[in-house]
Structure 1
């Protein structure tokens, strides 16, 4: 097949295929019922981001092509938009079906998710009292008139009710109500009147609808009130004005305001909403023909169901897998003593994230520590790591923190953290306006016997205590001075990007990561041509960079065996005879979000193993600062290879990525059932127990 006609699966459709896998988890009857309803919340949250980012980008492309009078490109992009909307409608129908199925299944366990139409007199009276005492204080209707620009009032993250206020012989008035989920739980458990066996839960939306008259009574005359839910999703993109003389933080703050009034890309509403209300909203919000208009069930912002409470027995959710307290750290008085004995590899959430926070906490007061360097992309709301960095400053240590202000949807939080740390005396670097800093680095410099020794952390995930409980990620702790000194050079590169930097060991985007990866792929290709065993094992979130895909196609044609686990988008089309028939790709969706990036090259029998912060996307290779690190310790290399091999053997949660991305489960045949995330836990636990 000619290299100029290679097939690539559209990344937007591949992303939808990934979210279909999430929906499969909600459908999987092997999952505990509470986990199934939480997967519906994850699906919904993912879909919100898909529209804010992916669909918004496709919409912009249409307008750009039309503006440039490139009609052919505009038609191709419109066709892609049509396919997206077509698939979303099918998935929405499946979502609604599963929602009804899961709610009915909950009742089998005496948990009843009820609506206002299913309430008895006792429940109505209790809810009216609850509304008056706990909710009403947070309700502030927006009465819509010519002075109100509704499109500027809506927040993507909020849940809204649109209310029609009807009075005979008068024009219908409309009002907007925000469901106050920032102040009270969206799920309210109604105390039992009789049997304690039955648990009744109602959504905050339904309580407000039940008590609508209490909101408007005495202020507006009405004969009838009608309320229906809706949600608008906006374009998440924003621009930074470089012509205005103000600080980067001020520019980012202004850019966040752009997002608040950005163009809508999706309008999803209660399918029972009357036509007059729907038409009024469409006009107010200027919904275009390129926006997705989706009729659905009565509830919006289903993402809150990620936190659906388990009010029943423990077996209704996944059993806990207690995080492992590794002896690699626990057997030593300090983290620095532990790392001095050899490199340490942790795999969250199987290992305790506490080991990492302790690394930074101990550095904050250790008299021998002179300098802490760390970069932040996303951190927890109550970050122990940032508290430790401030403690370090209070102890007279030099602390340098790179804060990425453009971490999508965490921009405002990072602006606030940068101000907090600056006020505390931390040297805060705000990254580069042209390159997003996505690396996961920490270097602690410590004086030992009159010499400055550097301890480095290289990771695939964020310094975030919350996500470390649900994302799988690798952390490498090392005293290797060559690696640590190169990590310090990454911080120097961020501060002084005009200087020339060379990295011998690290893969650093945008300096050498792409060329290093291509070098390894091409070496495997050459080895295969020479009859030497050649193999590439990959574990990444997204595989959409065309140049890297082309190299993998060439490797497959030469006979290189390529096995990959790709959680999300995959534009490479495997299994095409003569092109990609040596490439086998699976995807795993389970209780933890698969997040690490790992590359293993056979290298003529002397395997090279890398972990990285970078996905195989053009943005990660060329437009971000990312760091990939070699794993040099043979024991740790084997551990990573073992973990990937366990995942390649998954017969329960693995799906095959085929040419059409149909998400068929891997066939088990006569192999034993193996759920890789659970098996990996037992593998790591056994390593600890057998020491």
Structure 2
């Protein structure tokens, strides 16, 4: 049984589950659908198309590459969804191939629409005389000096090809020679020059025209190979295995070990080869022989790497009507009325919902703490940080002011390793205590603890988030921030940092639920408690909002609760291995995914609990890696007003009939056939007063 089946039963164990990687393909298809959605502005569609491309790059460099490793190692064990590595690999080749074809069909459609709006990608052969002269000058002055042709022959072995860079494969013959054997060379397209070169235009013209840099270089290839005739010039792009293999226990210095592994990443095993459509057979033969790839090779009918569209769309001026109107996050009213964070939190907890409310509140919280003479210590976890993070500056200032500043920097945050290493060194230079976490575990929890001397006692102030401490992603991701001075949460926060930074015996948590020690079991207990309530006729319901669900034990617990009569609504943006709608197993479970302008990233877990609801914020998805291989936390929400606000946020998602897709038993997603007025949850959430009101929205939903 697999996700291609149009009907499902659960006669075999594997039939009850959907495969994680195939489910991910369906998620990326939902992103691609936003690029195809005619109601979206053109440049927003271009951004979504870029996202599908970069998503696919990461998926292949990590997930597909891992499956290839398993096949090479002779691993044949079937996973709990019923797939062997080789069986899954064959299906992924087909699914990825279809997705690539759909991406480029979408690209061609987008370029036609952009052309009508005056944004034109021009073939080199169609340049006007004036444009050609300008590009000739640009090539001589800017492009040519940085090009390095690399011949491949007996004396010059195949050079290192970097992952996810665009190259030209050049097939040549010697002038005035009777030799039959062609010559071969490769050339890297400079990544530090614009991919799309703007062409000269009239001052009063609205039209903007661009030519691809690879087309310019191809047209001038003769300047690099004097004495030879170019037979064919074709683009190619290689994706390598980018996962790091780190011996944390054997490493004397984890930072140095990761730096060493990052250098190895450049030589990772080839996982995918993309080549220009109708590539010269000799060039393809040379590339496949060098990279030892036969099956994960894709001929591309269009420009390689559509990820360029994100930067292109971000840099296009004068076409504001092709974009969504920008939103200005509001500053949280609770802190706007009173700028003293500590005074506000002594009165009540505060919920902040990004990106509708500003991340500046978090920066100001740390800045105030760094300047407050009564603050004794600041402790914080950092997983992914922006390139120019104001939080780093505030933490450094606090340390330089003599406060005890401890920062847990996760060096193993995939694809952010180099940036985090740089931040770790800067923080150390400022006098911060920098800790790299525990061996074998990623520190993925998002928590800040501020210890303040108030009279004769120390008071703890805590921030818990569902997203990273990253001011850039806080403008593009939906995430929840909770500010509190709750004593139990504060005690647990102190213990959590003690466990990460030092030695600490087993601890009975007062409020927090922590992975990997007890989160998995606690989740299953919370789920089965709902089953007990349902069996006894008491109110029982679960609403869970997360990025991904793939842990088999949690899925089985949800199945058990559904069979006991619990109504379960899952709001899962990405991967979901649970198969809903199976009679006798999961017909009481609904799974919906929202893909919209902002990346849905918040994790909120609601348990009806017999009429006494419990709500948690969490850094963790319900995936095996989160529950067993990461330091994560679930934080209970104690404040009744904030509980109501979180219920409102969940209900926004449950009412969305514009950007929601529902998971079907066969593994595919369908948009609802809803005759009600359009309700787009993210648009409604922009009106902060709508979800910050104490009354639930469920009884009075209003269209966007």
Q: Same fold (TM over 0.5)?
A: yes
Corresponding residue for residue 527 of structure 2:
521
Structure-2 residue corresponding to 1:639:
645
Cα distance change of structure 1 residues 245 and 76 upon mapping to structure 2, 3 Å threshold? closer
Task: Give the distance between the partners of 1:105 and 1:5, measured in 2 at CA.
Answer: 45
Alpha-carbon distance change, 198 to 405 in structure 1, aligned in 2, over 3 angstroms? same
1:293 aligns to 2:303 (yes or no): no
User: What's the offset of the Cα at 1:634?
Assistant: 1.0
Instruction: Identify which of 86, 106, 109 aligns with 1:98.
Output: 106
Which of these residues, 131, 138, 144, is aligned with residue 146 of structure 2?
Answer: 138
Report the CA distance between 1:197 and its aligned residue.
2.1
Change (3 A) 1:340 1:211: farther
C-alpha offsets along residues 126-153 of structure 1, whole Å, 9 cap, x if unaligned?
1122233333343333333446554x72
Residues 488 and 114 of structure 1, relative CA distance in 2, 3 Å threshold? farther
Q: How does 1:2-81 map to 2 (within 5 A)?
A: 4=13, 7-66=16-75, 76-81=84-89
Change (3 A) 1:148 1:11: farther
Gaps of 5+ in 2: 1-9, 696-704
Residue 121 (str. 1) matches residue 140 (str. 2)? no
Q: Shift in Å at residue 467 of structure 1?
A: 0.9
Q: For the Cα contact (< 8 Å) 1:188–1:202, is it kept in 2?
A: yes
Between the aligned partners of 2:527 and 2:470, the Cα distance in structure 1 is 33
CA distance in structure 2 between the partners assigned to 1:430 and 1:149 by the alignment: 40
Q: Structure 1 residue 645: deviation in Å?
A: 0.8
Contact 1:158 1:178 in 2 (8 A): yes
- 3-state SS, counterpart of residue 34 of structure 1: helix
Deviations 1:274-311 (A, max 9, x none): 10001101111122x4x511111242222121222334
**1:155 paired residue number:** 162
- Counterpart-to-counterpart distance in 2, 1:31 and 1:72: 39
Q: CA deviation at 1:359?
A: 1.0
C-alpha change, 1:686 and 1:314, in structure 2 (3 Å) is: farther
Task: Classify 1:242/1:99 alpha carbon distance in 2 versus 1 (closer, same or farther; 3 Å).
Answer: closer
Q: Is the aligned partner of 1:680 residue 2:685?
A: yes
The verdict on how the C-alpha distance between 1:298 and 1:166 changes in structure 2, with shifts beyond 3 A counting, is: farther
Q: Does structure 1 retain, via aligned residues, the 8 Å contact 2:464–2:482?
A: yes
CA contact (8 A) 1:537 1:599 kept: yes
Deviates more, 1:494-503 or 1:599-608: 494-503
Number of aligned residue pairs: give it: 681
Q: Distance in 2 between matches of 1:689 and 1:570?
A: 32
**1:503-526 CA-partner distances (Å, limit 9, x unpaired):** 121111011111111111001001
Secondary structure in 1 matching 2:413: coil
Q: Deviations over 1:91-127 (max 9, x none)?
A: 1111111110000010111111223233222111111
* Distance in structure 2 (CA, Å) of the matches to 1:686 and 1:243: 47
Contact 1:213 1:225 (8 Å CA) reproduced: no
Relative to 1, partners in 2 of residues 1:244 and 1:654: Cα closer, same or farther, differing over 3 Å?
A: closer
Closer/same/farther in 2, CA of residues 108 and 72 from structure 1, 3 Å limit? closer
**Aligned counterpart, 2:539:** 533
Deviating more after overlay: 490-499 vs 348-357: 490-499
Report what 2:496 is aligned to.
Answer: 490
Change (3 A) 1:29 1:227: same
| Residue 173 (structure 1) aligns with | 183
Q: Give the 3-state SS of the residue equivalent to 1:406 in structure 2.
A: coil
SS in 2 for 1:48: helix
**Distance in 1 (alpha carbons) for counterparts of 2:137 and 2:69:** 48
Q: Which residue of 2 aligns with 1:306?
A: 310
Q: Secondary structure at 1:153's aligned position in 2?
A: coil
SS of the equivalent of 1:223 reads strand
Work out whether 1:186 is the aligned partner of 2:195.
yes
Distance 1:71 1:311 in 2: 50
Paired residues for 1:523-602 under 5 Å: 523-602=529-608
TM-score by length of 2: 0.92
Summarize deviations over 1:137-175 as a string: whole Å, max 9, x none. 43333333446554x722224222223333342553333
Q: Cα RMSD over matched residues? A: 2.4
How many angstroms does 1:338 deviate by? 2.8
Aligned with 1:200 (options 209, 214, 221): 209
Q: Secondary structure at the match of 2:684?
A: helix
Judged with a 3 Å threshold, the aligned counterparts in structure 2 of structure 1 residues 4 and 427 are, in CA distance, closer, same or farther, namely same
Q: Distance in 2 between matches of 1:568 and 1:272?
A: 35
Query: d(CA) in 2 for partners of 1:81 and 1:470?
Result: 33
Structure 1: distance between partners of 2:78 and 2:459: 58
Q: What secondary structure does 1:610 align onto?
A: strand
* Equivalent residues of 2:446, 2:469 under 8 A apart: yes
1:76-104 residue CA offsets vs partner (Å, 9 max, x unmatched): 32111111111111111111111100000
